[in-house]
Structure 1
């Protein structure tokens, strides 16, 4: 599994099967069930922590395909296979002059894994442009199409996380705007402050302009997994109640914060940075020197090493701020990290 996870954890699986169609998926599931094997679906492995070797079947989703379903001039409905590389898909939509996914440029992973976590960046989430998801329902042994509402999207959450193991995503359908179309109107989402600052003097003239700026910001702040093994942002931004926030804000006036549906969202990276973790490293793993949210594998680190460091970070944040951090990546194997997912069937990004 070394080359199937961007943390470069050298763990093994008993079986790995790559699938490119529904029929191959059904064959893989039959293979697992008749042998009594646990199974687990992965995409690019860019949101996955292999905490141990896996004695079951890894199903590597490589279902490809791109299709324009409708185009009325102002908006376009188009579909992508679950195995398509996410950033390649975003670039494809930009080449068509379509807007909606530009803020989500350069996020690692695949199209099929994006709805699982409701990926988001720079003020945008996939839920805002997703129309429907085609899935294989393992409980019913049938292909179904779920509307965006049925996906139950929330902050880094979805039906696919809540009912891990029931659905395997086959394709995702989006509704995007044709930028500059007659009679159409589209406002770029520049709510993320660094993005707003960089576009204040020179407003973007196209979705590609926004994408280019987003890519530049990401490259400056986040390491390339191919160069420095990582899974991107490791911890979710926690949401705390208003009274808790007010107490902390009184003590830390510069604490970044954002409105949330149930309380106030605070920046996990800022919390970790305040405790001096940025740039920390031990013999095997560490924290990126430019971004406190990114845990990295310096070489030879196991999943257990990454999770042990995450536990140390979470413990220190709780001790100082009384805030419980939750991790974003999916964990395959056991762990004691607060908020981690230990579901053996939950799909990884």
Structure 2
């Protein structure tokens, strides 16, 4: 297949002409790293096989979009057309533009060693190896199959970075000038700080948010930095082939039950997961809430649930004030409304642009003005 013009066009879209990442993007055959992938479909996920439709394969591989490669424990490489998993994505090939931006945030020097956390398809490791050379790149993933598949496919391209199967929240295989994670963590693991060279720099996202953090190691073994104005969202780190069960039962109850507390909300129903700054602030203040949102005609319904048994349902037409039902030990919709009030009062939320302080044990704090939060 003549993939080179597609890769060159992708490089033009995601890098500027003088970027040192332009050549790595243009020279990397992304389609070879993602021969099969999952696409959302009614009733679950549908398998896409690149060899069966090479035009669609190239369109997908050289579009600036993420390609889901695992859903729950089932990797697309091991699936058949009859499989329609309904779980959460557990691995993907991240959209190329975001991979490049994460590496740009790392401010790589030509002699830097890099730990790429979250091997996935191997695309990030491929770009980094082309940019700096095999010997300076180590990539890790919790899934042994992903590591072996990426190794074989990168070897076929003539690229040989070190690929290691390990739980990235534990000890990392060496020490590095830069750590770049395309998985979300909360808080930042102490092992990352231990593996970071003096004055080294790490780039990651806070799990459950779109907060992209950069921080440099300090003399005491901790790190300081900031929440960048840029945004990124990645899958959470996991410790096995799948994530723990979600709160489907509680969300279903929230859809039907009358609350212990019934009131009229102050603001229109909002789809929280699509309001990135609002969702990030909420997850810092009250982590672990799951959301559902339905819109039919002018009727809008938002559901919230937490593992502590708290839940909320807000329903309204268009932008009218909603009727809010809440139950359990906390009033989740009230917490959300307090954040929206802060936003309207102050014009913005303090999470974006906040300073980041990480202690050597990984305790992570965000601060902006008088606002302080521990993750």
TM-score relative to the length of structure 2: 0.23
Q: Identify, as 1 or 2, the structure richer in strand.
A: 2
TM-score relative to the length of structure 1: 0.25
Higher relative contact order (CA 8 A, sep 6+): 1
